[in-house]
């Protein structure tokens, strides 16, 4: 997958990261259920199934680690919001499945024309 343009907007980088994350997750055996799930409470980047577990996945993509690794931006506040959106998704879809929250961290390296992708399974819990 070609990397996003250097002059592109942050939105373009985020979309590129989500596409790259989906491809990466599928190679890991995940089955993508939904991308960009939106509700009045917020958005979940990717909802997937991994061996019977529903995984709510937050994707963070950065061009450098000057301000820390991409996953460091999944703050306690962001985790709280993701929990609320995930709970709503489960309720709306009448799902009582085992679930977890994963984070896909992507660090784009323009010099090497590639990206370092890291999957952090079970990054935080559903419990409020």
- CA–CA separation, 44 and 72 (whole Å): 17
Structural domain includes residue 5: no
Structural domain includes residue 26: yes
Residue with tokens 């409020």: 128
Residue with tokens 């491809």: 23
Structural domain includes residue 25: yes
Structural domain includes residue 55: yes
Predicted TM-score (pTM) of this structure: 0.87
Structural domain includes residue 14: yes
Structural domain includes residue 1: no
Structural domain includes residue 4: no
Could you read off the pLDDT of 114-126 as tens digits, one per residue?
A: 889 999 999 988 7
Structural domain includes residue 3: no
**What's the confidence (pLDDT) of residue 79?**
95
| Domain total of the chain | 1
- Name residue 32's beta-bridge partners: 48
- CA–CA separation, 108 and 63 (whole Å): 5
Give the domain extent around 22: 10-124
The token pair at 7 is 């002059």
Concatenate the DSSP letters of all residues of 21-77 into one string.
HHHHHHHTT-EEEEEEEEETTEEEEEEEEETTEEEEEEEEEES--TTS-GGGG--HH
DSSP 112: T
Rg (CA), the chain: 15
CA angle 54, 37, 71 (to 5 degrees): 70
- pLDDT bracket for residue 7 (50, 70, 90): very low
- CA–CA separation, 72 and 83 (whole Å): 17
Could you read off the pLDDT of 62-116 as tens digits, one per residue?
A: 988 888 889 999 999 999 999 999 999 999 999 888 999 999 999 997 665 788 9
> Domain of 39: which CATH number?
3.40.1350.10
């Amino acid at each position: 997958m070609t990397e996003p343009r250097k002059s592109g907007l942050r939105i373009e980088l985020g979309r590129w990261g989500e596409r790259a994350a989906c491809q990466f997750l599928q190679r890991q055996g995940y089955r993508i259920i939904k991308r960009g799930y939106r509700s009045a409470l917020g958005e979940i980047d990717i909802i997937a199934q991994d061996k019977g577990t529903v995984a709510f996945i937050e994707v963070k993509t950065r061009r450098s680690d000057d301000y820390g690794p991409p996953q460091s931006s999944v703050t306690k506040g962001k985790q709280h919001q993701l929990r609320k959106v995930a709970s709503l998704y489960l309720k709306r879809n009448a799902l009582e499945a085992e679930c977890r929250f994963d984070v896909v961290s992507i660090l784009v390296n323009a010099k090497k024309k590639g990206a370092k992708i890291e999957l952090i399974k079970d990054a935080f819990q559903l419990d409020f």
